[in-house]
Structure 1
Amino acid sequence: MSRLNNNRAAVEAGEAKVNVAILGAGGIAHTMADTLTKMAADPRYASWIHPYAVAARDLDRAQAFADQWGLDKAYGSYEDLVADPDVDLVYIATPHSMHAEHAILCMKAGKNVLVEKSFTANTAQAREMLAVAKETGLLCTEAIWTRYMPSRGLINEIIDSGEIGEVQSASANLCYPVVGKARMTDPACAGGALLDVGVYPLNFLDMAIGADHGRTVDHFETSMVAWPETGVDAQNNTTLYYSDGTMGVSTSSMLVTSDRGGYVWGSKGYLVVTNINNPEAIAVYDNDHKLVRNVEVPPQLTGYEYEVADAAAALLDGKTECEAMPHADTIRIMELMDAIRERWNLRFPFEE
């Protein structure tokens, strides 16, 4: 058990803060370090969130990272990081093919984990991680930031109000030209568009028309274009058919740039979300395609602060999951992505 699990009183009394460490020192790790630094300077978080440490497989790299962001500690191995008794929450920032190994290392050392999406490479790994969370009583939650953002509630409020009528269709896309990143085309790193960018439109649909509204996927149709030689998906399209006849279309690619739009269509109008990966605006239109209103999305530090705050609050309350992304939701999305890859006959080397 971590030193602060189920110990909210110590933090509220000003006797301690939640020390957050970062495992990995790549691009997404820098985004989290930026977030933590800004949280430490923000009155909403400064009294209870502390940017504490980083670990890389090279001490010099870790120290340079720590110096850049003003972290207390730098470690040249992941094992050294989890041996530090003052680490409370570890953000897993390594490629998703390594998430299970690194999260389990942390939890078995008594550390809570916030695991960058995709949670794991497949459902089997996810279940193994969650079994360790149950065994240790530690927090293990997926860091897919859009699940924690205020925009989720704003979108659902519009849909639930009936303002756009009966919703029966939606689409979402997220595409970036990112084939220059080696991990994206490497099967050994669980590469491909689906797990890296496709997870966002699938989660958008799950929130906008799926599980958040009591719908379950009845069946799906999917297609993909393979990346030459390695065979991972370069771009893909999946149509989800829900039990009540509602339909959702998810598109992702690592070859091109898309508008990143989320669209929810109803019998009285529709809504448009600008950038499903980090919602910037929500617009409501009527049946005549006239703009009814714009819904403002609250200003944010980076957008990652919501997942950090939720995870820190959950561990202080002794929980093993976050309400915004409970384990059941993570497993449902992982199972869907497994089923999609099975339809493509796409397996990673470590799954053979």
Structure 2
Amino acid sequence: MEVLKVGIMGTGRIASILAETMVQMPEVCLYGAASRSLEKAEDFAARFSIKKAYGSYEELAADSEVQLIYIATPHSEHSRNARLCLEHGKHVLCEKSFAANYSQAKEMIDLAQEKNLMITEAMWVRYMPMADTLKEVLASGIIGEPMTLTANLAYLVSDKHRIVAPELAGGALLDVGVYTLNFASLVFGDEITDIASSVIKTETGVDAQNSITLLYPGGKMAVLNSSIQVLSDRQGIIYGTKGFLVVENINNFESICVYNTDRKLVGSYQRPEQITGYEYQVLASKDAIEQGWTECPQMPHQTTLNVMRVMDELRRQWGIRYPFETTNEE
């Protein structure tokens, strides 16, 4: 495969950033864009000089020219949209959160594996070079054994309908909390021994703010906070037996600063130049497709499922259930 032909499903803000990114990537051809409104699709296609515009998602999925479809629709639609793509033989890069719940995520992955198609979650920080840098710094032992971490992510987005709508699987957890969970997963893995949490809900019944404490084997702990009502510093801090390190912006690692037991700076790593940061997940998807893999090693299916299971448990603790969820999907 020389150039990967990509279609975008959805034409919102994230889709625009992906389009802006892909038009600067010689490895891919942004071939088509689909919306439920042909007018919106045509406007989007014109903005980014995209060849095809589709007035339905079905038309995009059915186009034999398209190889990979990036799903940029609300969380509530990911499962339905992904199944549509997979049934038409398309590989899938699906925006986070991957699905509304574990059951949907498992069905999506099972179908992709059955059809020998690649599907992966667009948890973009997992694909970035800085994720590898973080792992290398921790493996070097410079801060000793990591025992505790804190992470937060919060944006002023509670005025957006999608963010607070239960029918769209809204709330802080699936939109921004998923980043804090992935940060903890990057550092401590997914063997969690206990989950405790607190929540403050919106008037619509989804989580406005949450605080999560995860316990791991060996006495390790992660304390995570996310919100759609305030602005945070977006830091991730990892505390070890010989020092600590600070990651600026867990939503797109800008820098990693390492401190010793005297709290003196002993190491600093800066994010390499990037288009937007979204290019890495596209390149990883292309590589996986070329290799004949059904998943990307940077974001294994099992990790996606583990995080989805944790989010299901958190919502169970909070008494939050989306209107479209059946008993089998809880």
Under a length normalisation based on structure 2, what TM-score does the superposition of the two structures give? 0.97
User: Which consecutive unaligned segments of at least 5 residues does structure 1 have?
Assistant: 1-7, 12-16, 40-45
Partner-residue secondary structure (3-state), 1:196: helix
**Does 2:226 correspond to 1:226?**
no
Identity %: 48
CA deviation map 1:178-202 (0-9, x unaligned): 0111011110000100000000011
Moved over 4 A (4+): none
| Partner of residue 243, structure 1 | 217
**Does 2:185 correspond to 1:199?**
no
> Contact (CA 8 Å) 1:240, 1:247: kept in 2 or not?
yes
For 1:59 and 1:126, locate their aligned partners in 2 and report how far apart those are by CA, in whole Å.
29
> Contact (CA 8 Å) 2:188, 2:216: kept in 1 or not?
no
Partner-residue secondary structure (3-state), 1:82: helix
> Contact (CA 8 Å) 2:75, 2:98: kept in 1 or not?
yes
> Contact (CA 8 Å) 1:54, 1:65: kept in 2 or not?
yes
Aligned residues: 326
> Contact (CA 8 Å) 1:167, 1:264: kept in 2 or not?
yes
> Contact (CA 8 Å) 1:37, 1:69: kept in 2 or not?
yes
For 2:231 and 2:222, locate their aligned partners in 1 and report how far apart those are by CA, in whole Å.
21
Matches within 5 A, 1:124-139: 124-139=103-118
CA deviation map 1:186-238 (0-9, x unaligned): 10000100000000011001102224xxxx1101110100102x110000000
| 1:301 aligns with one of 260, 271, 275 | 275
1:138: Cα distance to partner?
0.6
CA deviation map 1:124-171 (0-9, x unaligned): 100111121022111111001011011111111111111011211001
For 2:171 and 2:99, locate their aligned partners in 1 and report how far apart those are by CA, in whole Å.
14
> Contact (CA 8 Å) 1:90, 1:113: kept in 2 or not?
yes
CA deviation map 1:7-61 (0-9, x unaligned): x4xx2xxxxx21011000111110110010111xxxxxx1x31111100011111
1:175: Cα distance to partner?
0.4
| 2:169 aligns with one of 190, 193, 213 | 190
| Partner of residue 20, structure 2 | 34
Code of the aligned partner of 1:222: S
Matches within 5 A, 1:187-336: 187-211=166-190, 216-228=191-203, 230-336=204-310
Over the aligned positions, Cα root-mean-square deviation in angstroms equals 0.9
Partner-residue secondary structure (3-state), 2:175: helix
Code of the aligned partner of 2:185: D
Code of the aligned partner of 1:221: A
> Contact (CA 8 Å) 1:148, 1:306: kept in 2 or not?
yes
> Contact (CA 8 Å) 1:59, 1:76: kept in 2 or not?
yes
1:263: Cα distance to partner?
0.2
> Contact (CA 8 Å) 1:92, 1:103: kept in 2 or not?
yes
> Contact (CA 8 Å) 2:200, 2:208: kept in 1 or not?
yes
> Contact (CA 8 Å) 1:59, 1:74: kept in 2 or not?
yes
CA deviation map 1:235-276 (0-9, x unaligned): 000000001110011100000000000000011110000000
For 1:166 and 1:140, locate their aligned partners in 2 and report how far apart those are by CA, in whole Å.
34
| Partner of residue 22, structure 1 | 8
> Contact (CA 8 Å) 2:75, 2:168: kept in 1 or not?
yes
Partner-residue secondary structure (3-state), 1:217: coil
Matches within 5 A, 1:125-204: 125-204=104-183
> Contact (CA 8 Å) 1:145, 1:306: kept in 2 or not?
yes
Partner-residue secondary structure (3-state), 2:272: coil
> Contact (CA 8 Å) 2:246, 2:257: kept in 1 or not?
yes
User: Which consecutive unaligned segments of at least 5 residues does structure 2 have?
Assistant: none
Under a length normalisation based on structure 1, what TM-score does the superposition of the two structures give? 0.91
Matches within 5 A, 1:88-107: 88-107=67-86
Partner-residue secondary structure (3-state), 1:350: coil
1:176: Cα distance to partner?
0.5
> Contact (CA 8 Å) 1:170, 1:209: kept in 2 or not?
no
